[in-house]
């Protein structure tokens, strides 16, 4: 990293940490994210040890991801009640539910683990929607891009550290130990959220039927000329990322390494994501949301395509480039949603956008797992690189008004 870039990164961290609400929200993200990442790894290992089934172990991830499909409906809750108490309540609920996992010690108790993971996923959807909406009102608008970048950095940093801690804790104390750790992180996060100072956190009185209120968020999102291209590009990018992710073991095999080498590539990718998160605030201000996202997708396209070349040094470079390119559209889309959406709609629009962006990733993983068995992975990687390049090009040619999202003033925060 150059001195100039390091100064920008340091300035980003300082700007966010000096803002009281931004610093508290970021602390909450780090604390709860650590526990979530630890449980993410341990739950599958736990089920594998109890049942001996790879398929049942894989269902843990499905249980956590499935509630994302109900994002537009779950997001309405973040617009119906005060968001600060909702964050605290969701954290306390999950802390209590995780304690019930201490009773899981045989295959007959696996159903309880699945049930808790499903509630975990649903609470996560509500939590993300409420947090995004609360941040948009509690944090200085000029810091939103910086905050979202640091949020990505924190999440990726936890993915590098927490699974190792979770694996060690699981080896020493079993799944119950990891569940207790996660419960503790939720309790600590609830305490952090309690110190937030949120002006005007009282929701407007609901109007219309529940179905109409749910649809209102989706209607606003897809009719907005600046949000629609970003969310659409985000969904297409995550679909390709899921397909590419399913090919990682084929790439490792082509390099002549054992499957465990995939962990090295993931670590390098995580380091790239940490770096881009630190620089995303200045980059958003310089390029605007549309170009920042498109440049990131273009970098991702090159890196995914070059993964077809079996070379260790190139594989490391591509891993870092994938980690740096992929988060750009995610950060840009979330920041744009926070800037462009009226406060009473923020929960629903955020949850709908998350569903539109992240659900294709799951579909891509499933499709990639099937395709890699019948199609040469190098051809698939080349095709994915072309698809991502087309996505970046389409986003660059979308309406230039999309760039307004990084510098919107409160008067811009109205439906278009």
| Claim to verify: residue 77 and residue 184 sit in the same structural domain | yes
Question: How far is the C-alpha of 328 from the C-alpha of 274, rounded, in Å?
Answer: 11
CA gyration radius for the chain?
A: 21
Question: How far is the C-alpha of 307 from the C-alpha of 377, rounded, in Å?
Answer: 10
C-beta separation of 293 from 328 below 8 A = yes
C-beta separation of 60 from 44 below 8 A = yes
Outline where DSSP puts E strands in 180-338: none
Question: How far is the C-alpha of 66 from the C-alpha of 148, rounded, in Å?
Answer: 24
Question: How far is the C-alpha of 212 from the C-alpha of 217, rounded, in Å?
Answer: 9
Q: What residues contact 245, with CB distance under 8 A and at least 6 apart?
A: 364, 365, 368
| Claim to verify: residue 230 and residue 375 sit in the same structural domain | yes
Question: How far is the C-alpha of 120 from the C-alpha of 32, rounded, in Å?
Answer: 12
148, 178, 203 - which closes a domain: 203
157, 182, 203 - which closes a domain: 203
Candidates 348, 340, 335, 347; CA nearest to 411 is: 340
Candidates 160, 358, 152; CA nearest to 265 is: 160
**Entry pTM:** 0.77
Candidates 349, 332, 357; CA nearest to 415 is: 349
CATH number, residue 73: 1.20.1250.20
| Claim to verify: residue 47 and residue 136 sit in the same structural domain | yes
C-beta separation of 296 from 328 below 8 A = yes
Residue 414 lies in a domain: no
203, 228, 246 - which closes a domain: 203
| Claim to verify: residue 219 and residue 344 sit in the same structural domain | yes
Q: What is the pLDDT along the chain (416 residues), one digit of tens a residue?
A: 455 555 555 566 677 777 788 888 888 888 888 888 788 778 888 888 888 876 677 678 778 878 888 888 888 887 787 888 898 999 999 999 999 999 998 889 899 999 999 999 899 888 888 888 888 777 777 778 888 888 888 877 777 777 677 778 888 888 899 899 999 999 999 999 898 877 655 655 555 556 666 778 788 888 899 999 999 999 999 999 988 988 888 888 889 887 667 767 888 888 898 888 888 888 888 999 999 999 999 999 999 999 999 999 999 999 999 999 999 999 999 899 988 888 778 888 888 898 899 889 878 877 887 888 888 989 999 999 999 999 999 999 876 554 554 444 333 333 32
C-beta separation of 351 from 226 below 8 A = no
C-beta separation of 227 from 221 below 8 A = yes
| Claim to verify: residue 199 and residue 230 sit in the same structural domain | no
- Structurally, the chain folds into a number of domains equal to 2
Outline where DSSP puts E strands in 171-317: none
Domain that holds residue 64: 1-203
| Claim to verify: residue 256 and residue 387 sit in the same structural domain | yes
pLDDT attached to residue 414? 34
| Claim to verify: residue 100 and residue 234 sit in the same structural domain | no
Residue 412 lies in a domain: no
Residue 260 lies in a domain: yes
Question: How far is the C-alpha of 53 from the C-alpha of 246, rounded, in Å?
Answer: 20
CA dihedral 18, 22, 26, 32 (to 10 degrees): 140
C-beta separation of 293 from 235 below 8 A = no
Question: How far is the C-alpha of 275 from the C-alpha of 255, rounded, in Å?
Answer: 26
């Amino acid at each position: 990293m150059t001195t100039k870039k390091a100064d920008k990164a340091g300035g980003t961290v300082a700007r966010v940490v000096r803002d009281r609400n931004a610093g508290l929200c970021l602390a909450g993200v780090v604390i709860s994210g650590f526990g979530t990442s630890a449980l993410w790894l341990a739950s599958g290992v736990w089920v594998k040890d109890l049942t001996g089934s790879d398929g049942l172990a894989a269902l843990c991830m499905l249980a956590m991801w499935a509630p994302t499909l109900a994002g537009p409906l779950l997001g309405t809750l973040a617009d119906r009640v005060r968001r600060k108490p909702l964050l605290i309540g969701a954290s306390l609920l999950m802390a209590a539910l995780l304690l019930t996992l201490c009773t899981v010690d045989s295959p007959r108790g696996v159903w309880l683990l699945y049930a808790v993971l499903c509630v975990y996923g649903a609470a996560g959807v509500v939590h993300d929607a409420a947090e995004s909406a609360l941040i948009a009102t509690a944090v200085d608008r000029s810091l939103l891009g910086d905050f979202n970048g640091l949020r990505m950095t924190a999440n990726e940093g936890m993915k590098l550290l927490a699974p190792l801690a979770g694996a060690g804790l699981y080896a020493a104390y079993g799944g119950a130990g990891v569940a207790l750790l996660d419960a503790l992180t939720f309790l600590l996060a609830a305490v952090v959220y309690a110190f937030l100072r949120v002006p005007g956190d009282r929701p407007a009185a609901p109007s219309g039927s529940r179905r109409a209120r749910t649809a209102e968020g989706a209607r606003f999102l897809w009719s907005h000329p600046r949000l629609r291209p970003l969310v659409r590009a985000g969904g297409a990018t995550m679909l390709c990322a899921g397909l590419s992710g399913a090919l990682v073991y084929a790439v490792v095999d082509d390099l002549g390494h054992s499957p465990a080498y995939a962990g090295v590539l993931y670590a390098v990718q995580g380091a790239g994501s940490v770096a881009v998160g630190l620089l995303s605030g200045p980059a958003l201000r310089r390029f605007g949301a549309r170009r920042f996202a498109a440049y990131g997708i273009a970098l991702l396209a090159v890196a995914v395509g070059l993964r077809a070349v079996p070379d260790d040094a190139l594989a490391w470079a591509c891993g870092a480039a994938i980690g740096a390119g992929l988060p750009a559209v995610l950060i840009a889309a979330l920041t744009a949603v926070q800037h462009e959406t009226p406060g009473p709609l923020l929960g629903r629009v955020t949850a709908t956008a998350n569903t539109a962006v992240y659900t294709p990733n799951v579909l891509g993983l499933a499709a990639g797992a099937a395709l890699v068995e019948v199609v040469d992975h190098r051809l698939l990687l080349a095709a994915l690189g072309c698809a991502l390049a087309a996505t970046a090009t389409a986003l660059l040619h979308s309406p230039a008004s999309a760039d307004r999202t990084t510098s919107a003033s409160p008067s811009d925060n109205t439906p278009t």
